[in-house]
Structure 1
Amino acid sequence: MSVTQQEEMKTRNGTRTNKVRNILLKIIGTIIIAIVLFLAIVFIVNVICNKSEQGKIESYGQSVTVDGKNMNVTIQGKGEETVVLLPGFGTAAPALDFRPLIEELSPFYNVVVVEPFGYGLSDLTDKERSTENIVSEIHEALQGLHIDRYILMGHSISGIYGLDYVNKYPNEVSAFVGLDSSVPTLSEKRFSSSEIETVKLLKKSGFSRLLMKPDTDVYAELPYDDQTIEQIRILMHKNMYNPNLLNEIEHMYSNFKAAEQLTFPPNLPVIFFIQANHPATDRWIPEHEKLIKDSVHGEVVLLEADHYLYRSHSKEIAEGFRGFMKENQ
């Protein structure tokens, strides 16, 4: 092959290579543009939905000033005794979620639902979500309402906060009721900063709306009307993974560890309504029983229910609670 032919061959090969490279670059560029457009669409849709849903939120309850911010509370019933309801972690709209139980209790008690900062319609706060701060804020809210004697009733993580609360304010709390409440010895896992940052990114980008759609189907067969379910759905989107809830996750492990040193005051009436068959541990019942072994008035009631037993078994809880209080007056 002559030199000229070799050069022509190299030229043709170089041309083919350039064509292939150009095609690959176009494909890669198209893919990048498509990804950027998709990310932009997800972000914009999330912003639009947030603004739209914000206008659909229906106010409920009343605000009380706590640490210079607004904390939302609802009050229903005219009984002589007051029951203060505290939510489990991440409950988007506590006052709406507790509605079946409120309806069962309010004919006999003055029922107060406190929505901590970052929950329901309450403001966000810059303070760390340590047990100390959360308990102090709840107490300040009750003081602002001039409520100084009450029964504390808490779901899930509020079992940890409630344990601290009854030790700090023993002259105010007349009894504690746990609704499948957490116990210090069965601690939640420690979350890494990278996991928290990933969730923050998902929230900011709008992907949390796309990937983690709120499951409101759980309310369908329960005593919640369509309007209430829709409001819960909107507030799920509003409050899901907000800064306060993420900060609470970061403090969860340390909050549990701190509670390991605490016990209920022996003379404080304590009753736990818990699920009979916990899906993740066989220590659920024994650890609750251990927590009240020194209580003069302690009881554990088992229910064939899931973790959110107050939604499905509100009548049984209210009746069992009233009977317990009559026996211990």
Structure 2
Amino acid sequence: MTEPAGKEVRNSTKTKRILHILLRVLVAVVIAILLFIAIVYTVNKISSHIEQNRMEQYGQHVSVNRKRMNVFIQGQGEETVVILPGYGTAAPALDFKPLISELIPYYKVIVIEPFGYGLSDQTQKERSTANIVSEIHEVLQHLHVDRYILMGHSISGIYSLDYVNQYPNEVKAFIGLDSSVPSLSEQKIDSSEIEPIKWFRNLGFARLQLKLGADPYDGLPYDEQTKERLNILRYKNMYNTTQLNEAVSMYSNFKAAEQLTFPSNLPVLFFVQADHPVTDRWIPEHEKQIEKSVHGEMVLLEAGHYLYRSHPKEISEKIRDFTGKIK
């Protein structure tokens, strides 16, 4: 009768040994994860501090709502082109450099870096179209610029729709660089959904994500110094709170724009990617936006969404031709 009892003792001892090993493995895994997080966090903090000291200033600051908005101005042309960036563009003044270089022999070019972009401050103010448009206009008023061609990439197409209707006597023409259209709305994002992204950013994983990702400027006409500055600002601005708040407001901004159209007498020129990777409605919806325009044109390019990076010369030449006809 003692043998079964001894067997039970041996089985119990074996079970405890296995559980002890599993517990030690679990503790080791947890420690390894915490150590990895600590390394990522520390590297990000140190790198951010070093990069902050290396960052070269560019442009000039304009005070808007007691905060600084960065503006980059080049060129001496009679016509002024005001450029607005797409969502999440880390440093618009640097990102548009290939196109700016092509435009400045003929135009005065102003690149506005909205709050949360480039070297501009962040803001807690709601990222509604109304606020963004008001801030952009205040910058131009401060610069005494009251007649200009407005150019917008991606989401700035939505903001520009509101802008050209509010300030029709100031905007001479609109140029869309694969600009967003209200009928193809972004997915709704709740404010609670951005909290994990803030943790992801604050712990330094945004930097790791960028390092592991492909270089968006590889093979494009950017010099090494510009690429280095762009990377520094990508690390600085990715998933910042202002841009995340803009993402939360994006759905309602699209919905509000559904009621807007470009004024029929406003010249509109669209540069559109010929083969959109997600929707086959991209070209038709842009065609609808200019069907009632007295002077509306669309140019299809075999390019990606950031077509101004890869096709600056073609875009510049067409803009010169287009603006020459509307003087």
| Contact 1:214/1:236 (<8 A) preserved | no
Unpaired segments of 5 or more residues in structure 1? none
Once residues 9 and 307 of structure 2 are traced to their aligned partners in structure 1, the CA distance between those partners, rounded to angstroms, is 77
1:28, CA displacement in angstroms? 2.0
Once residues 158 and 32 of structure 2 are traced to their aligned partners in structure 1, the CA distance between those partners, rounded to angstroms, is 47
Alpha-carbon spacing, 1:89–1:300, altered in 2? closer, same or farther (3 Å): same
| Contact 1:271/1:298 (<8 A) preserved | yes
1:9, CA displacement in angstroms? 5.6
1:36, CA displacement in angstroms? 1.6
Once residues 277 and 7 of structure 1 are traced to their aligned partners in structure 2, the CA distance between those partners, rounded to angstroms, is 75
| Contact 1:85/1:152 (<8 A) preserved | yes
Unpaired segments of 5 or more residues in structure 2? none
Once residues 85 and 50 of structure 1 are traced to their aligned partners in structure 2, the CA distance between those partners, rounded to angstroms, is 28
Alpha-carbon spacing, 1:128–1:134, altered in 2? closer, same or farther (3 Å): same
Q: Once the two structures are superposed, what CA deviation does each residue of 1:185-234 show, in whole Å capped at 9, x if it has no partner?
A: 11111124453222122111212222343756332322210110111111
Alpha-carbon spacing, 1:280–1:228, altered in 2? closer, same or farther (3 Å): same
TM-score between the two structures when normalised by the length of structure 1 = 0.94
Once residues 290 and 100 of structure 1 are traced to their aligned partners in structure 2, the CA distance between those partners, rounded to angstroms, is 30
Once residues 312 and 17 of structure 1 are traced to their aligned partners in structure 2, the CA distance between those partners, rounded to angstroms, is 64
State the match for 2:179 in structure 1. Answer: 181
Once residues 134 and 234 of structure 1 are traced to their aligned partners in structure 2, the CA distance between those partners, rounded to angstroms, is 25
SS of the counterpart of 1:219? coil
| Contact 1:184/1:257 (<8 A) preserved | yes
State the match for 1:269 in structure 2. Answer: 267
Once residues 56 and 311 of structure 1 are traced to their aligned partners in structure 2, the CA distance between those partners, rounded to angstroms, is 25
Give me the CA root mean square deviation.
Answer: 1.7
Mapped pair 1:306 → 2:304? yes
Bigger Rg, structure 1 or 2: 1
SS of the counterpart of 2:150? strand
State the match for 2:255 in structure 1. Answer: 257
| Contact 1:82/1:109 (<8 A) preserved | yes
SS of the counterpart of 2:70? strand
Matched ranges for 1:77-88 at <5 A: 77-88=75-86
Alpha-carbon spacing, 1:276–1:24, altered in 2? closer, same or farther (3 Å): closer
Matched ranges for 1:98-113 at <5 A: 98-113=96-111
1:276, CA displacement in angstroms? 1.5
Alpha-carbon spacing, 1:215–1:13, altered in 2? closer, same or farther (3 Å): closer
Q: How many residues align?
A: 327
SS of the counterpart of 1:213? helix
Alpha-carbon spacing, 1:145–1:216, altered in 2? closer, same or farther (3 Å): farther
SS of the counterpart of 1:55? helix
1:24, CA displacement in angstroms? 2.7
SS of the counterpart of 1:44? helix
Give percent identity, aligned residues only: 65
